[in-house]
Amino acid sequence: MSKSKGSRLVYACQTCGFQSPKWLGKCPDCGEWNGFIEERAAPSSTSDPAKVGMFGLSATRPLRYADIESQDDSRRDSGIAEFDRVLGGGIVPGSLVLIGGEPGVGKSTLMAQVAGALSDSHGTVLYVSGEESERQIKLRGERLGLKADGLFLLPETCLERVLEQVDALGPAAIIVDSVQTVFSMKLESAPGSVSQVREVAGQFLILAKNRSLPVFLIGHVTKDGQLAGPKALEHIVDTVLYFEGERHHNHRIIRAVKNRFGAANEIGIFEMTERGLVPVANPSAMFLSERPVGAAGSVVVAALEGSRPILVELQALVSSSQYGTGKRMTVGVDANRVSLLMAMLEKRLGMHLIGDDVYLNVAGGIELDEPAVDLGLVAAIVSSYRNRAIDERTVVFGEVGLAGEVRAISQASSRLREAVAMGFRRAVLPQTNIAGLPALDDGLELVGVRSVAEAIDALF
Ligand code: TYD
Ligand code: MG
């Protein structure tokens, strides 16, 4: 099949899949360096007009909107509530889900647990592994305490043979570990190259849609770009889940960065234990558990992760620099956002930060990227700069503009409820949010502020 006359050499960026007829040092599409690898362009396999419809089905015709069956009630529980939450409320039949993360972070562990739970409730589950032998997987499964009568393991890397086995077995769900190890015989490029990974994902998409069964693809994120990253697949799959943060922490955060069937940005929080990943019941308590008391530069913000409010500690360290201009470093928050807020502090409040090193850290390895944490960032910087601690039972949130104004944020009431649940006594928040709040009868003092200057007065 492979040696078709039409195949020609191209160079493909292994990060994003951009193709060029000649080798390039830097990808003009994604900006990555040294990512181009020689590949053979895929021969067109769509010469048969009966097979050119979407998902390789026979040619389609227009359907009346009203006649199409609604699917939302067909979501199924995976048996692991925290995983269902990230997926937007359960597994959608016919969905193709990509699970990405660095090697060793726990992708295989999570999916082995999901496979076990699914096989208990839904019947046959096929776990295709190109990375580990069936014995290794069994060993892990025993450690995880899986009974999993309906679970089948297939150590295989050839896509066509995997599809044959799927036909023979007729599973209710499929897990592929990992997509980078599977190759199609139709293509000449090496397993793990962009064209292979895309072909494999495309074939599993067709399978998922045609048979209305969920398919989970595990994908490694690597820094050197030698294996095609899951980024190259994001547009093909329905849902993309990433393991976030470092694997040196005990807990693991799984975030939906894309979801065609639910809210993006939803997170699930697990703890890695002796017996696999265990859902964390109270994330705020976990993120605040090691908070220093009475330390300058530490402040608690109420962040919204997907649909769930979570209290997180921000830490700033401002110290005078050894050199003329200060160094800036952030972990867990956008460095540009912090620069912008610092420029605002210099101009509007006359703080001189230019000769100071400024470090910002989100405790617990979670990443925050909503503007509602702006006011917390500002408070942490000012607290460290003045060396004055912020009251430990005060929570802070609000968006900050360049004029130093504090702007309204979304879902203030659910953030406040979480603060109350965690025993906080005082909240500093945008004045404009207070008007719309339902009456709170829980002893939380609300301090509405219109500007950063007002917020600082309220905090110190
Ligand atoms: P793994 O799922 O193999 O990672 P990935 O598939 O993402 O490469 O998990 C690897 C790590 O998880 C490994 O360091 C051991 C640890 N682990 C536990 O701590 N407890 C367990 O029960 C299991 C199965 C793994
Ligand atoms: Mg693995």
Domain boundaries, the chain: 7-41, 76-281, 286-459
pLDDT band at 7 (very low <50, low <70, confident <90, very high): low
State the Cα–Cα distance between residues 134 and 20, nearest whole angstrom.
40
pLDDT at 333: 95
pLDDT band at 263 (very low <50, low <70, confident <90, very high): confident
- The three-point CA angle 373-379-381 to 5° equals 105
3-state secondary structure of 115: helix
Both tokens of 396, joined, read: 């802070």
How many angstroms does the Cα of residue 175 sit away from the middle of ligand 1? 17
What topology is assigned to 286-459 in CATH? Ribosomal Protein S5; domain 2 (3.30.230)
DSSP 330-394: EESS-HHHHHHHHHHHHHHH----TTEEEEEEETTS-----GGGHHHHHHHHHHHHHT-PPPTTE
State the Cα–Cα distance between residues 408 and 431, nearest whole angstrom.
8
CB 62: neighbour CB atoms within 10 A?
A: 5
Residue 207 buriedness (CB in 10 A; 0-12 / 13-18 / 19+): buried
Name the nearest CA neighbour of 254 among 275, 231, 283: 283
pLDDT band at 415 (very low <50, low <70, confident <90, very high): very high
State the Cα–Cα distance between residues 277 and 329, nearest whole angstrom.
31
CA-proximal residue: ligand 1, atom 1 (nearest): 106
**Residue 249: CB within 6 Å of ligand 1?**
no
Give the mutation target among 99, 107, 109, 217 for probing the ligand 1 site: most ligand atoms within 8 A of CB: 109
> 13: which strand partners?
36
Average pLDDT rounded to a whole number, residues 287-294: 90
How many angstroms does the Cα of residue 105 sit away from the middle of ligand 1? 6
- CATH class for the region spanning 76-281: alpha beta
**Residue 143: CB within 6 Å of ligand 1?**
yes
3-state secondary structure of 327: coil
Contact of 458 with 428, CB cutoff 8 Å? yes
Scanning the structure block, which residue is given the tokens 């004029």? 403
Q: Are strands 96-101 and 239-244 parallel, antiparallel or unpaired?
A: parallel
How many angstroms does the Cα of residue 276 sit away from the middle of ligand 1? 7
- Does the pLDDT at position 273 exceed 70? yes
pLDDT at 228: 62
Q: Strands across the sheet with 394-396, in order?
A: 328-331, 356-362, 308-320, 298-305, 394-396, 426-430, 445-449
- Going 174 to 179 to 185 to 187, the CA torsion angle's sign is positive
pTM recorded for the entire structure: 0.84
Name the nearest CA neighbour of 424 among 407, 444, 448, 452: 444
Q: Are strands 19-20 and 9-13 parallel, antiparallel or unpaired?
A: antiparallel
pLDDT at 307: 86
Lowest mean pLDDT among 209-213, 218-222, 287-291, 328-332: 218-222
State the Cα–Cα distance between residues 284 and 309, nearest whole angstrom.
8
CB 146: neighbour CB atoms within 10 A?
A: 20
pLDDT at 403: 95
What is the number of the ligand closest to the CA of 275? Answer: 1
Contact of 233 with 243, CB cutoff 8 Å? no
Average pLDDT rounded to a whole number, residues 324-330: 87
- Does the pLDDT at position 52 exceed 60? no
DSSP structure class, residue 134: H
- Going 47 to 50 to 55 to 60, the CA torsion angle's sign is positive
Average pLDDT rounded to a whole number, residues 362-391: 94
Average pLDDT rounded to a whole number, residues 216-241: 81
Please give the mean pLDDT across all residues of the chain.
Answer: 88
